[in-house]
Structure 1
Amino acid sequence: MDVDLRKLRYFVAVAEELHFGRAAERLHVTQPVLSRQIRALEQELRAQLFTRNKRSTELTAAGRQLLEDAGPLLNSAQALCRRVRRASHGTSTFTIGFMPGIIVTGAVRAFAVRHPELSVQVVRTSWDDQVQGVHEGLLDVSFVRLPVDHRGLALRPVFREPRVAVLPADHRLAGKQSIGIADLAAERLLQAPDAVPEWRDLPERTGGDGAGPWPAFRTVEEKLEHVATSGGVLVLPLSTAAYYTHADVAHVPIDDIGPNEVCLAWSADRYSPLLSEFADIAAAQR
């Protein structure tokens, strides 16, 4: 059975809005058209995707499963279209994403020398979008910092590096040679707790996390300003902490947690020899 991608996009809109009227507005279609498309999709899949009454629309178990699987499938289709369009215009590019603090110069230069026919480009990513560009076909490969959602990705380890606590320069721990993660139990973490599971799992933790009244931070620079002006701590890879210089913050090694792992990621659906070749080059540079 083939899945109609248009119906799948309609389904995702309804699943995210949980309201047929709002989803129809978002898709620029009428609500009766949208309802017919969803019914047709349910018939094709032989599964009920929503339960509806006059007051609410909810996903069924089948609907929740489809929503989980629909994103990677739609992203893959979008990425395919981008690559085909580029090829049809005679544009031969190879685009590499990298996170702040990760030096990719050697690998990029070596790959470009081997492939003078390609326009090799680099794009800076962030913690929030480090794999999004791969899924959407904007990046051929990307240097990512774990943890990431592995679904739809091929991952190859490249290197590991220590993690450090980033603190206000006048913090009681700022002058230490090293600290343990338990020393941060009373501190407010200014990043997603899942990024620092060792801190999140401390039984004696009394500090807060990013779910409190703190603003949503878009960049490391914003987080550092908050550390400097309002307190709180970050746990970052050493190269990231060193990449951002700030006179009012300090970083201290954390000696009892594991290192951050950097991997090269690309779409698991792609089998271009250029991908494995670049991965070999990147690994050799380390």
Structure 2
Amino acid sequence: MDVDLRKLRYFVAVAEESHFGRAAERLHITQPVLSRQIRALEHELGAQLFTRGKQSTEMTAAGHQLLEDARPLLAAAQALGRRVQRAAHGGSTFTVGFMPGITVTGAVRDFTARHPELDVQVVRTSWDTQVQAVHEGLLDVSFVRLPVERRGLTLRPVFREPRVAVLPSHHRLAGKSSISIADLAAERLLQDPDAVPEWRDLPDRTSDDEARARPAFDTVEEKLEHVATSGGFLVLPLSTAAYYTHTGVARVPVDDIGPNEVCLTWSAARHSALISEFVGIVAAQR
């Protein structure tokens, strides 16, 4: 069965907006046109995707499954378009993503030496973009910090490193040689709890953190500044915490949490000799 990507984009807009009118505005089409396209998609798939009410639109179980599958499919199609356009315009590039604290110089230097004809670029990513940039074709490979959503990706472990708590320098725990994650149960976490599942799953956590909106940060520097001036804490890989210096924060080892794992990742749909060669270079250097 052939799936119309345009209809999939329409479906994702309705799923994300939970409203046909708002989705139509977002897509710059009329609501009747959008409704006809969604009905056609339901007919093609043989499944009802939404239950339509006067106030909102809810996804069915089939709709939830389609949304899970549609997003990586649309991202892969977008990535394909980028790569084809780049090739059509004579662009011979290879792009490597990396997270803060991860040094990629050696691997990139060796790869560039082997391929002087390539424009090898490095791009800094973030917790929110490290995987999506691979799906969208902005990166050929990327060094990512787990946990990540593995769907649609191939991952190769690179190294593991300890994690530390980053606290205000005047905090009661700042002078400790080490702490346990339970010592932070009453503190406010300033990052996605999925990045620190050991804290999220504490049975005696008393913080009202879940009910409070977290500040939005674009960079590690902003996070550290917030810790120093407004309190709260972060759990960061040691290399990331050590890379950024700030007199207003302290790093404290956490004894009972696992290390952070760094992996090299790329799209599972790609079978590129250049990617395989880069993976080999990274493996040989570890």
Is the structural similarity TM-score above 0.5?
A: yes
Q: Deviations over 1:31-71 (max 9, x none)?
A: 12111111111111011111113333211111111011100
**TM-score when normalising by structure 2:** 0.96
Q: Deviations over 1:203-234 (max 9, x none)?
A: 22223436514422332222211111121111
Q: Which residue of 2 aligns with 1:188?
A: 188
1:1-286 alignment, distance < 5 Å? 1-209=1-209, 211-286=211-286
Question: Higher mean Cα deviation, 71-80 or 163-172?
Answer: 163-172
Paired letter, 1:228: A
Paired letter, 2:277: E
Cα distance in 2, alignment partners of residues 212 and 195 from structure 1: 17
- The Cα of 1:236 is off from its aligned counterpart by 0.3
The answer on whether the counterparts of 1:193 and 1:199 sit within 8 Å (CA) in structure 2 is yes
What is the DSSP-based 3-state SS (H/G/I as helix, E as strand, rest coil) of the residue aligned with 2:209?
coil
Cα distance in 2, alignment partners of residues 122 and 21 from structure 1: 41
Cα distance in 1, alignment partners of residues 120 and 8 from structure 2: 34
Cα distance in 2, alignment partners of residues 17 and 41 from structure 1: 18
The answer on whether the counterparts of 2:95 and 2:123 sit within 8 Å (CA) in structure 1 is yes
Paired letter, 1:181: I
Unpaired runs of at least 5, structure 1? none
The answer on whether the counterparts of 2:191 and 2:214 sit within 8 Å (CA) in structure 1 is no
Q: Deviations over 1:10-48 (max 9, x none)?
A: 111111112111111111111121111111111110111
The runs of at least 4 consecutive aligned structure 1 residues that moved more than 4 Å come to none
What is the DSSP-based 3-state SS (H/G/I as helix, E as strand, rest coil) of the residue aligned with 1:178?
coil
The answer on whether the counterparts of 1:166 and 1:236 sit within 8 Å (CA) in structure 2 is yes
Paired letter, 2:19: H
What is the DSSP-based 3-state SS (H/G/I as helix, E as strand, rest coil) of the residue aligned with 1:86?
helix
Aligned length: 286
Question: Higher mean Cα deviation, 55-64 or 143-152?
Answer: 55-64
Q: CA separation of 1:191/1:240 partners in 2, compared to 1, >3 Å: closer, same or farther?
A: same
Q: CA RMSD in A?
A: 1.3
Paired letter, 1:243: Y
- The Cα of 1:283 is off from its aligned counterpart by 2.2
Unpaired runs of at least 5, structure 2? none
Question: Higher mean Cα deviation, 222-231 or 103-112?
Answer: 222-231
- The Cα of 1:252 is off from its aligned counterpart by 1.1
Paired letter, 2:106: G
Q: Deviations over 1:122-161 (max 9, x none)?
A: 0000111111110100000010000001111111100000
Cα distance in 1, alignment partners of residues 227 and 208 from structure 2: 14
Cα distance in 1, alignment partners of residues 29 and 204 from structure 2: 53
Q: Deviations over 1:174-213 (max 9, x none)?
A: 1222222122122111111111111112222223436514
The answer on whether the counterparts of 2:130 and 2:144 sit within 8 Å (CA) in structure 1 is yes
What is the DSSP-based 3-state SS (H/G/I as helix, E as strand, rest coil) of the residue aligned with 1:251?
strand
What is the DSSP-based 3-state SS (H/G/I as helix, E as strand, rest coil) of the residue aligned with 2:171?
coil
What is the DSSP-based 3-state SS (H/G/I as helix, E as strand, rest coil) of the residue aligned with 1:79?
helix
